[in-house]
Structure 1
Amino acid sequence: MLLPFLIIGGLGLVLLLISLVIGDVLDHFEIGDGAISGTALAIGLTVFGASGALTATSGLALVWAYVVSAILAIAAYVVSVLVVRSLARSSDGVPASAVGLTGVATASISPAGGEVSLDGPAEVERRMAYADAEIDEGARIRVVAHAGSRVKVEPEHA
């Protein structure tokens, strides 16, 4: 009676591989406003198959194999959805506003552009910057506006 678990687990692995190579295949169908994630579904199916096969071979009644595997699959699905959503928000979400942060000009800044390193807790990379007036490299700056990936700065003492 392992065959149903092996088939479902195998389908989960195939869907997981497709999701990893091509991307989340269920994103294109707009099912439930993104409530169903192909990657999370694949993880749930794989966990269902693996846990069902392990439980079925442990000597318990077959009904327990289905109960245990269903509970673990649902838990794996929910955790996967939460992780996928968290990763999606952090990688392609709207960047946090840098207005008010201070930092240092790492290159001369002009209305045409420049570069700064900000002191914020989430600021690990340098940002492209511009200013109304020339700011020399090494000067302390303060962000006054956020425009896409660039920030508008002014000298900190202003």
Structure 2
Amino acid sequence: MLLPFLIVGGLGLVLLVISLLLGDIFDHFDIGDGAISGTALAVGLVVFGAAGALTVTWGLDLVWAYVLAAVLAVVAYLLSAVAVRSLTRSSDGVPASALGLTGVAKSDVSSSGGEVSLDGPGEIERRLAWSDAPIAEGARIRVIEHAGTRVKVVAD
């Protein structure tokens, strides 16, 4: 009675470890255009196994063990898929556009470089900057161009 839940939960645990160590395995096969997450599937399988095993040990009928385990597994899968997708989008490595943002020069800025602090959402660090005309430290600036994480600025 307990064995199917232990097998499914163990399989989920193995898949979870593989996903955490090697990345999401379903990304390599392009299954469902990213609709299936190996990490979320592994979480669902682990929850199915654990919920089913606990339900059986509590003495509920086997039918209810499968029903409860399946419902909890689907909920765990959906929550995990949303979390994985959200984390994937937020860590894509592409800096947010800073065009039009204003800020302050934290060092002298010239064509050879400098540092600025921008007043924008998510702008908590300094950025490397350059400018065609020299800008003194402490001057207000505006971003007119974006190149990777560096910004081209003008005096505002």
What secondary structure is seen at the aligned counterpart in 1 of 2:104? strand
Which stretch shows the higher mean deviation, 82-91 or 129-138? 129-138
Q: Secondary structure at the match of 1:145?
A: strand
Cα distance per residue 1:28-74 (max 9 Å; x no partner): 11101111111111101000100111111111111111111111111
2:41 matched to which residue of 1? Answer: 41
Q: How far apart, CA to CA, are the structure 1 residues paired with 2:107 and 2:17?
A: 44
Residue type of the alignment partner of 2:64 = W
Distance in structure 1 (CA, Å) of the matches to 2:18 and 2:138: 49
Aligned-pair distance for 1:111?
Answer: 2.2
Partners of 1:79 and 1:139 in 2: how far apart? 47
TM-score (norm 2): 0.93
Separation (CA, whole Å) in 2 of partners of 1:93 and 1:84: 15
Q: Which residue of 2 aligns with 1:101?
A: 101
Equivalent residue, structure 2, for 1:149:
149
Could you say which residue in structure 1 is the equivalent of 2:119? 119
Which structure 2 residues correspond to residues 1-150 of structure 1 after superposition, within 5 A?
1-92=1-92, 94-150=94-150
Question: In structure 2, what is the Cα distance between the partners aligned to 1:87 and 1:75?
Answer: 18
- Measured in 1, the distance between the counterparts of 2:33 and 2:2 equals 35
For 2:5 and 2:102, the matched residues in 1 are separated by 57
Q: CA offset at residue 95 of structure 1?
A: 3.0
TM-score with structure 1 setting the length: 0.92
Size of the alignment, in residue pairs?
A: 156
Please tell me the residue identity of whatever aligns with 2:137. Answer: E
Q: 2:69 is matched by which residue type in structure 1? A: S
Deviation of 1:145 (Å)? 2.3
User: What RMSD, in angstroms, separates the aligned Cα atoms of the two structures?
Assistant: 1.4
How far apart in 2 are the matches of 1:37 and 1:78?
10
- In 1, distance between residues paired with 2:93 and 2:112? 27
Query: Where in structure 1 do 4 or more consecutive aligned residues deviate above 3 Å?
Result: none
Q: Equivalents in 2 of 1:49, 1:101: separation in Å? A: 51
Alignment identity in percent?
Answer: 72
